[in-house]
Structure 1
Amino acid sequence: MSNEIRCLPTEDIEINCNPLFKKKFNSNVWKSLHSLWESLIKKLLADPNELQVWQKVDRHGNTYWQAYDPATGKSFSSGSQADICMWIEQLYRY
């Protein structure tokens, strides 16, 4: 009996033999990394004092808009893009 410990080479280890699983897994990982990278670049290049507007989807699949003005600290949320535009116009009306 030997107390020798041996490790398998990584190419001998397979998580799942189904090639469709591997393709989907790689695609999902790539999309997640790409999305993370884009978010990071946007944050680094964004002017911290610039008005921010973005679209979100809630847990029920409903799309809505959010806006934030760092200069005033005010924010607004609506299901309508037109409402967001009106809020911005009122915010900057003299």
Structure 2
Amino acid sequence: MQDDITCLESQGRETLNSTRFRHNYGWEILHKIWQKLVKIIISNPQEIQVKQKVDRYGNQYWYAYDPITGKSFASGSQADIAMWIEQVYRSH
């Protein structure tokens, strides 16, 4: 009879651990959604947007977009992006 109890406890622990995993995963997803929502709310739609991206070969590069002019620029160098942003601000 003790073997049956041990077996049931073991199964109970596995169920509890998988429930915790699903619970934590759910909170992680909600946290990411919340972060994106806050970012959208506080962002200025007229500011230059800069993102770091990865191409299909795994190379990282920078992408900048000016919503006022509709122009964009991409480069593997942060310095190049910074120079482009300075030029855009000078032309406004």
**Superposition TM-score tier, normalisation by shorter sequence:** 0.5 to 0.7
Structure with greater helix share of residues: 2
Q: Deviation above 4 Å: which 4+ runs of structure 1?
A: 58-61
Q: How does 1:7-86 map to 2 (within 5 A)?
A: 17=15, 19=17, 21-58=18-55, 60-86=57-83
Per the TM alignment, residue 80 of structure 1 is displaced from its structure 2 partner at its CA by 2.0
- Secondary structure of the 2:90 match is coil
Query: What is the RMSD of the two structures over their aligned residues, measured on CA atoms?
Result: 2.6
CA pair 36-18 structure 1, distance change in 2 beyond 3 A: same
Percent of aligned positions that are identical: 53
Looking at structure 2, the residues matched to 25 and 35 of structure 1 have their Cα atoms a distance apart, in angstroms, of 15
Relative to the length of structure 2, the TM-score reads 0.64
> How many angstroms does 1:24 deviate by?
3.5
Which structure 2 segments of 5+ residues have no match?
1-11
Q: TM-score w.r.t. structure 1 length?
A: 0.63
Q: Distance in 2 between matches of 1:88 and 1:45?
A: 21
User: C-alpha separation between the residues in 2 aligned to 1:25 and 1:60?
Assistant: 33
Distance 1:65 1:24, change over 3 A: farther
